[in-house]
Structure 1
Amino acid sequence: MTAPRWCETVRRAAPLAFVRDWVAGTAAIGALYLLMRVPFHPTQIPGYLLVVGFDVLEATLGSTGTRYPLWFAAYLSGLGAAGAVVSRVLRTLAVRTDVSGWRVGVAGGCVVVGAGALAFALFVSARVGVVSVLLTGGTALALFAVAGLFLRFGA
Structure 2
Amino acid sequence: MVADPSTAAAPDDGLGSDAAPDPPPSASTSDSGRASGPFSPRTLLTDSLVAAGVIAGFYALLYAVPLPPFGVPGYLLLVAFDALEVVLPTFTSATMYDAAFAAFCGSLAVAAAVVASWTRTRGASGRWRPGAGAALAVVGVVGLSVALGVFLVNAGVDYGPFLLVTGTAVVLLTAGWHVVRTSVGPDAA
Fold conserved (TM > 0.5)?
yes
Structure with more relative contact order (C-alpha pairs < 8 Å, separation 6 or more) = 1
CA RMSD of aligned residues (A): 2.4
Q: Which moved more, 1:53-62 or 1:13-22?
A: 53-62
Percent identical residues: 32
Aligned to 2:59: 33
Aligned to 1:43: 70
Q: Supply the distance in 2 between the matched residues of 1:133 and 1:68 (Cα, whole angstroms).
A: 26
User: How big is each residue's C-alpha offset from its partner over 1:73-95, in whole Å with a ceiling of 9 and x where there is no partner?
Assistant: 1111111001111111222345x
Q: Supply the distance in 2 between the matched residues of 1:91 and 1:12 (Cα, whole angstroms).
A: 6
Matches within 5 A, 1:64-143: 64-66=91-93, 67-93=96-122, 97=124, 99-129=125-155, 130-143=159-172
| TM-score, with structure 2 as normaliser | 0.69
- Of Structure 1 and Structure 2, which has the larger fraction of its residues in helix? 1
Aligned residue pairs: how many?
A: 146
User: How big is each residue's C-alpha offset from its partner over 1:100-152, in whole Å with a ceiling of 9 and x where there is no partner?
Assistant: 22111111111111001111122222122322321111111111122133221
Aligned to 1:55: 82
Distance change >3 Å, CA 134–CA 93, structure 1 → 2: farther
Q: Which moved more, 1:13-22 or 1:50-59?
A: 50-59
Q: Write the letter of the residue equivalent to 1:42.
A: P
Quote the offset at 1:35 in angstroms. 1.1
Aligned to 2:14: none
Identify unmatched segments of 5+ residues in structure 1.
1-6
Identify unmatched segments of 5+ residues in structure 2.
1-23, 28-36
Is the contact made by 2:136 and 2:172 (CA closer than 8 Å) also made in structure 1? Answer: yes
Quote the offset at 1:8 in angstroms. 6.9
Aligned to 2:44: 18
SS of the residue 2:71 aligns to: helix
Q: Supply the distance in 2 between the matched residues of 1:81 and 1:103 (Cα, whole angstroms).
A: 15
Q: Which moved more, 1:44-53 or 1:83-92?
A: 83-92
Q: Which moved more, 1:14-23 or 1:99-108?
A: 99-108
Query: Which protein shows a greater Rg?
Result: 2
Q: Write the letter of the residue equivalent to 1:68.
A: Y
Distance change >3 Å, CA 127–CA 57, structure 1 → 2: closer
| TM-score, with structure 1 as normaliser | 0.82
Q: Write the letter of the residue equivalent to 2:161.
A: S
